[in-house]
Amino acid sequence: MSATTTESSLQALGITAAQLPRHIAIIMDGNGRWAQSKGLPRIEGHRRGVKSVRCCVEECSRLGIEQLTLYCLSHENWKRPPHELRFLMQLLEQYLIEERSTIQRNNLRFSVIGRRQGLPDSVLNELEKTRSLTSENTGMRLCLAINYGARQEILDACRQLAQAAQSGELNPEDLDEESISQALYTGGMPDPDLMIRTAGEMRISNFLLWQMSYAEIWVTPTGWPEFREDHLHQAIRDFANRDRRFGGLHA
């Protein structure tokens, strides 16, 4: 996106670039419940949610957000019915193929966090194709959390650091918060400033537990299939008006 496009978008929102969240993380909740409320099968809610993803990604890029992280599939979601999981994998693969040109056209950098175990080879191949194709891009980072769980992420980081200490690569006395942050799946990424959750649930569901220590949380009763640019704008405006003290006092 051009600087002029970003500036005009911010003017329409009534905020400055300095008031934008650097990193937005979204728990895309309520697909199944939205579909059932409409008398549709649960999988139709997931299908409709793809349009919300497209709208949100393009608008965040237009506004100049540095990173957008979307919670696509949690570690706990494997408890869902097999037919729903198969559909989710097919939908993810289809999204990666169909949206790749749009991701590239918008100069987005694509990345994935979460464990690879259990994901179909076809999905892993498309994830890697998109990551590789966009690795030199310079625009917004689009990060998908797939087969992701924050407790599992912290456990994997602890194992990595323990192995480094055991091999002599790491002195336990040198371990600090930055060491842990870099060992997480999100190493090198900024922590989220704003976390959005749809469908009205008041919990963070094992999502970015370490990284969201000081994130502002914004919840909407709107289900993800109906989430559009105006909801995103409302969340950003609310964020811009919050007093973030990080444990200190307002200057």
Distances (CA, A) of 38 to 25, 125, 164, 173, 226: 27, 35, 52, 57, 12
pLDDT given for residue 106 in this prediction: 94
pLDDT one-digit tens code per residue, 180-239: 999 999 999 999 999 999 999 999 999 999 999 999 999 999 999 999 999 999 999 999
| High-pLDDT (> 70) share of the chain, % | 96
The token duo for 111 is 């990345």
Question: Taking the domains of the chain in order of start, what are their residue ranges?
Answer: 3-237
Q: From the candidates 29, 106, 147, 193, which is the catalytic residue?
A: 29
pLDDT given for residue 11 in this prediction: 85
The overall average pLDDT reported for the chain is: 94
Please tell me what DSSP assigns to residue 191: P
Q: From the candidates 77, 107, 137, 206, which is the catalytic residue?
A: 77
The token duo for 29 is 């909740």
- For residue 10, pLDDT beyond 90: no
How confident is residue 1, by pLDDT bands cut at 50, 70 and 90?
low
Strand ranges in the chain using DSSP code E only, listed in sequence order: 23-27, 67-74, 109-113, 141-148, 194-197, 216-219
Q: Which residues neighbour 192 within 8 Å (Cβ) at sequence distance 6 or greater?
A: 21, 23, 24, 25, 69, 208, 211, 212, 215
Q: Are 189 and 210 in contact (CB under 8 A)?
A: no
pLDDT given for residue 250 in this prediction: 60
Please tell me what DSSP assigns to residue 221: S
Average confidence (pLDDT) over 17-31: 96
Residue 22 CA to residue 26 CA, distance in Å, equals 13
Find the angle CA(18)-CA(22)-CA(25) to the nearest 5 degrees. 140
Average confidence (pLDDT) over 113-125: 96
The answer to whether residue 77 is catalytic is yes
Grouping H, G, I as helix, E, B as strand and the rest as coil, residue 242 is coil
The answer to whether residue 238 is catalytic is no
Average confidence (pLDDT) over 104-114: 97
Average confidence (pLDDT) over 96-119: 95
Provide the CATH topology of domain 3-237.
Undecaprenyl pyrophosphate synthetase (3.40.1180)
pLDDT given for residue 159 in this prediction: 97
How confident is residue 251, by pLDDT bands cut at 50, 70 and 90?
low
Q: For the stretch 91-101, what's the b/e string if a residue is b when 16 or more beta carbons lie within 10 angstroms of its beta carbon? A: bbbebbeebbe
pTM of the predicted model as reported, rounded to 2 decimal places: 0.94
pLDDT one-digit tens code per residue, 130-186: 999 999 999 999 999 999 999 999 999 999 999 999 999 999 999 999 999 999 999
